[in-house]
Structure 1
Amino acid sequence: MSEKICGLIPVYDNHMTIAGVVKALLEQIDFIIIVDDGSHDGTENIVDSLKQKYPERIAVLHHPENRGKGAAVQSGLHHADGLGFTHAVQVDADGQHNLEDLPKFLQGVEENPRALLLGAPVFDDDIPAIRKHGRKLTQAMIALEMGSWDVPDAMCGFRAYPVAAICRLGKMDQRMSFDPEVMIRAHWAGIPLLKIPTRVRYLAPEEGGISHFRMINDNVRHTWAHMRLILQAPFRLLHKALRKPDE
Structure 2
Amino acid sequence: MDHKKLVIIPTFNEKENILEMIQSIMDLVGGFELLVIDDGSPDGTGNLVKSKKSDFPDRLHLIEREGKLGLGTAYITGFKWALERGYDYIFEMDADFSHNPEDLIRLYEACADRHFDLAIGSRYITGVNVVNWPMGRVLMSYFASVYVKFITGLPVKDSTAGFKCYHKSVLQGIKLDEVKFVGYAFQIEMKFTSWKLGFKLVEVPIIFTDRTKGTSKMSRGIFKEAVLGVIMMKIKSIFNPYTLNQSGLIE
Whether the 8 Å contact between 1:18 and 1:95 is mirrored in structure 2 is no
- The answer to whether the aligner puts 1:231 opposite 2:239 as a matched pair is no
Among 181, 187, 203, the residue aligned to 1:179: 187
Among 181, 199, 209, the residue aligned to 1:201: 209
Among 127, 134, 138, the residue aligned to 1:132: 138
Alpha-carbon distance, 1:209 to partner: 4.1
Alpha-carbon distance, 1:197 to partner: 0.8
String of CA shifts for 1:123-145, please: whole Å, max 9, x gaps: 34412223211123321232135
Whether the 8 Å contact between 2:151 and 2:231 is mirrored in structure 1 is no
Please name the residue that 1:80 is paired with: 82
Alpha-carbon distance in structure 1 between the residues aligned to 2:236 and 2:5: 32
String of CA shifts for 1:31-86, please: whole Å, max 9, x gaps: 21111123111111111212233211111111111111111111111111011001
TM-score scaled by length of structure 1:
0.85
Alpha-carbon distance in structure 2 between the residues aligned to 1:229 and 1:144: 13
Letter in 2 for 1:106: Y
Please name the residue that 2:171 is paired with: 166
String of CA shifts for 1:189-218, please: whole Å, max 9, x gaps: 1111111111111123xxx14211122x22
Whether the 8 Å contact between 1:145 and 1:233 is mirrored in structure 2 is no
Please name the residue that 2:246 is paired with: none
Alpha-carbon distance in structure 1 between the residues aligned to 2:42 and 2:21: 19
TM-score scaled by length of structure 2:
0.84
- After superposition, residues 1-247 of structure 1 pair within 5 angstroms as 1-28=1-28, 29-121=31-123, 123-147=129-153, 150-170=155-175, 171=177, 172=179, 173-204=181-212, 208-215=213-220, 217-235=221-239
**CA root-mean-square deviation:** 2.2
**In structure 2, the residue corresponding to 1:99 is in which secondary structure?**
coil
Letter in 2 for 1:144: F
Whether the 8 Å contact between 2:183 and 2:226 is mirrored in structure 1 is no
Alpha-carbon distance, 1:12 to partner: 1.3
Alpha-carbon distance, 1:226 to partner: 1.4
Alpha-carbon distance in structure 2 between the residues aligned to 1:77 and 1:125: 30
Alpha-carbon distance in structure 2 between the residues aligned to 1:156 and 1:141: 14
Please name the residue that 1:245 is paired with: none
Letter in 1 for 2:235: L
CA spacing shift, 1:124–1:168, aligned 2, 3 Å: closer
CA spacing shift, 1:146–1:190, aligned 2, 3 Å: farther
Whether the 8 Å contact between 2:184 and 2:223 is mirrored in structure 1 is no
Whether the 8 Å contact between 1:32 and 1:57 is mirrored in structure 2 is yes
In the alignment, structure 1 segments of 5+ residues that lack a partner are 241-247
Q: How many residues align?
A: 234
CA spacing shift, 1:219–1:99, aligned 2, 3 Å: closer
Give the fraction of aligned pairs with identical amino acids, expressed as a percent: 22
**In structure 2, the residue corresponding to 1:177 is in which secondary structure?**
helix
Alpha-carbon distance in structure 1 between the residues aligned to 2:115 and 2:77: 21
Alpha-carbon distance in structure 1 between the residues aligned to 2:13 and 2:145: 28
**In structure 2, the residue corresponding to 1:222 is in which secondary structure?**
helix
